[in-house]
Amino acid sequence: MDFPIATPIREALFAAVGRSDFGYAVADAPVLIEALVGFAGRRLGWAVDPEQVTVVPDVMVGLIELCRTIAAPGQAVAFATPGYPPFSAELQAAGFRVLTVDLDSQGRIDLDALDSVLSGRVAAFVLSNPHNPTGHVATRDELATLAERCAAVETWVLADEIHAPLVLSGAEHIPWLEISDAAREYRVALTSASKAFNLAALKTAFIVTAAARAREIVRRLPAQHDHASLLGTIGAEVAFTDGDPWLDAVVEQLYFNRAQLAADLAAQLPQVRWIPPQATYLAWLDCTALGLGDEPADVFLAHGRLALGRGLDYGQPGAGHVRLNFATSPTHLGDAIRRMASCART
C-alpha cells in the first residue's frame, strides 16, 4: 500500500534499531501470540486458542511446508483461479501437481468445477479468502459448502486469510475455523499483519488450527519453519495491539478510493468490466473490450508508463485482465485511470 506505516509500529522498529536488536526472534513468543489472539477476537470475531498458534516466516512458507507435511511430491494441490501467482509457482517448485478451479462470474468458487477436481485424489485445497485478486469475500454458506465437500473426500483446506482485516463496508469476513465443527480436523488457517499493516518485508505470519489432527500436522513441520524475523515479530505485536486507529483510517480510505475508482471507470473506461471488491485494496479489471490483447498490462506499461498486475500471471482466466492496486492517494488513483483511458484511445 502506498501509505506510511502506523506511527506506533515505526517507533517500535526505530527503538529496536537503536538497541542494535537484530538477533533471532523467540519462536511462538507468548506476548506475540496473545497480541494475535486479542486482535482476532476484537477485529475478526475469531476466538483463537493460543495453544493452536504457530509462528512462521510468512504465509507462503507456512502453506508450502504444510503441503509437504500433508502430501507427497507428485500429489495434487488445488486452488481457485484467477489466483495469487505464488500459489502455482511455489507449489510446482515444491514438486506438487497443481490443479485449478475456476471462479464463476460473481467471483465464487464454481462448485461443478470443484467437484470435478475433487473427484480425483487432491491432498489439499488452498483457499484465498478474501480472494486475491478479485477481493471477493466468501459467505458462510460458500465456506460451509467448501468445507463439507473437501472433508467428504479427506482433502485438507488451507485458508490464506491475510487480507481479512481489510474487509470494506458492506461485507463480513467469516473466519475459516469458525464455520462448523464438522470438518475442523481437515482445516488450517494462515494469517499475518503484513498486508493489513503494510509490513510484507518483515516476515512474520501465523498458522492457526482448531482440532487435534490439524495441530498434529503443524507439530510435524520442519524445525526451520519458525525462523520469523525479529523485526517482523516486533512489528506484528505492535500492529495487533496498537494499530487499530491506523487500520480504521486505512479501511475508510480504501472505501472512498473504491468509490472513486468506480466513478472514474464509469466516466472514462465504461468498457472495462469489474465487480467492486468487497475487501483488499485490489481491483480485478476485465479490459477485454478495449481490444488490447491478452496482456493489456503490457500496453499500459509501454504506452502509459503505468505498472499493473499482468492478468495471465493469475492463470488462464486472467487473459485480458489487469490487477490494479488502489491503496494510494486519490490523485495518483485518478492519474492511473487517465493513463489507462489514454492508452485505450490510441
* Helix, strand, coil % in the chain, rounded to nearest 5: 50, 15, 35
Give residue 235's pLDDT.
Answer: 97
**pLDDT surpasses 80 at 23:** yes
Q: Which residue's entry shows cell 480485478?
A: 284
pLDDT digit string, tens, across residues 84-97: 999 999 999 999 99
Half-sphere exposure of 244 (CA within 13 A, CB side): 11
What confidence score (pLDDT) does residue 244 get? 99
By DSSP bridging, strand 321-325 and strand 187-191 are unpaired
How confident is the model at residue 146, as a pLDDT?
Answer: 95
Q: Which pLDDT does position 189 carry in this prediction?
A: 98
Correct CATH for 245-345 of 3.90.1150.10, 3.40.50.880, 3.30.420.40, 1.20.810.10: 3.90.1150.10
Predicted pLDDT at 26: 76
More confident residue, 226 or 293: 293
Bridge-partner residues for 310, per DSSP? 322
- Cell 463480513, residue located: 172
Residue 25 is predicted with a pLDDT of: 82
Q: Is the predicted pLDDT of residue 222 greater than 90, yes or no?
A: no
Fold designation for 7-242: Aspartate Aminotransferase; domain 2 (3.40.640)
Domain ranges of the chain: 7-242, 245-345
Rounded CA-CA distance 192/175 in Å is 14
pLDDT of 243 > 90? The answer is yes
Greatest Cα-to-Cα distance within the chain, rounded to the nearest angstrom: 60
pLDDT-derived band of residue 223, with 50, 70 and 90 as boundaries? Answer: confident
pLDDT band at 29 (very low <50, low <70, confident <90, very high): confident
pLDDT at position 182? 66
Confidence of residue 225 (pLDDT cuts 50, 70, 90): low
* Over residues 59-71, mean pLDDT: 96
Q: Is the torsion defined by CA of 267, 275, 59, 55 positive or negative?
A: positive
Q: With the C-alpha atoms ordered 261, 306, 1, 43, is the resulting torsion angle positive or negative?
A: positive
**In this structure, how many other beta carbons lie within 10 angstroms of the beta carbon of residue 6?**
23
Separation CA 216–CA 19 (nearest Å):
38
d(CA 41, CA 51): 15
Task: Give per-residue pLDDT as tens, 265-292.
Answer: 999 999 999 999 999 999 999 999 999 9
Mean pLDDT of all residues in the chain? 95
CB 246 within 8 Å of CB 7: yes
Of residues 293, 257, 300, 291, the one with CA closest to residue 271 = 291
- Mean pLDDT of the region 306-335: 98
3-state class (DSSP) for residue 309: strand
Whether 297 shows a pLDDT value over 70: the answer reads yes
CA triple 293-79-82, angle to 5 deg: 20
Average pLDDT of span 148-174:
95
